Amino acid sequence: MAGMSKKERQAALLQLLEDKPFVTDEDLARQFEVSVQTIRLDRLALGIPEVRERIKAIAETKQTELRSLEGTEVIGQLIELSLNEMAISIFDVEPEHVFAKTKIARGHHIFAQANSLAVAVINADVVLTRTANVRFIRPGRLGERLVCKALVTSNDPERSHVSVITRSGDETVFSGEFVVVKMGLDLVNGGLES
């Protein structure tokens, strides 16, 4: 690690901390074979906070991510909703959604956007997916903004049919037909498991 210019070192520092944010200045100083103070000047110049702040930031995003990716009712951002009629959501394909090799979005994320929208568009206490008939028409790619539209095609008191299409620009990425069922909260915990 010796024999690096300031620029090289700072570039390497940025990259290293990107995926190893837990190392202290002392560790870094040893790795780059410079003094602790030099590392601190580098961090100052690059606007990189101290270890404990870096760790805290990660822990904080985890908290919000758990509530926004797993915890919310809709995967993606809900843009329009007219209950029992139609709904639109957008979903930005980010690095964590794609295969590393191909930068193609894993199918279940695209399904998740469509499925959660099909469930959200129906107005009832508890809505569950019964069947889904889906087609991945062309891959979703890293960086794309996927726009998902759900249209309710039939709606009786027990079940609804929802037609979903996901597009990137004017190209269709995904289409699906969902059948969802509605239940009262009372029914949910009764009957099926004895």
Partner DNA sequence: GCGTTATTAGTACCTAGTCTTAATAACAGT
Partner DNA sequence: ACTGTTATTAAGACTAGGTACTAATAACGC
Instruction: Tell me if 100 contacts DNA by CB under 7 A.
Output: no
- Give 4 or 137: the residue with its C-beta nearer to a copy of itself: 137
Here the tokens at position 145 are 């903004």
Give the separation between CA 105 and CA 117, rounded to whole angstroms. 18
Give the separation between CA 42 and CA 25, rounded to whole angstroms. 10
- Give 40 or 159: the residue with its C-beta nearer to DNA: 40
Instruction: Tell me if 26 contacts DNA by CB under 7 A.
Output: yes
- Closest contact distance (angstroms) between CB of 58 and a copy of itself is 4
Considering only 16, 41, 132, 151, the residue that binds DNA (CB under 7 A) is 41
Give the separation between CA 137 and CA 168, rounded to whole angstroms. 11
- Closest contact distance (angstroms) between CB of 74 and a copy of itself is 11
Sign, Cα dihedral of 129, 72, 105, 167: positive
Phi, psi of 167 (to 5 degrees): -125, 155
Considering only 44, 59, 185, 192, the residue that binds DNA (CB under 7 A) is 44
- Give 41 or 86: the residue with its C-beta nearer to DNA: 41
- Give 44 or 59: the residue with its C-beta nearer to DNA: 44
Phi, psi of 91 (to 5 degrees): -140, 120
Compute the residue count for the chain. 194
Residue type, 54: R
Strands 159-168 and 145-155: antiparallel
| Residue 1 interacts with, from DNA, a copy of itself, none (CB under 5-8 Å by kind) | none
Which residues of the chain form contacts with DNA (CB under 7 A)?
5-6, 9, 24-26, 34-35, 37-38, 40-41, 43-44, 49-52
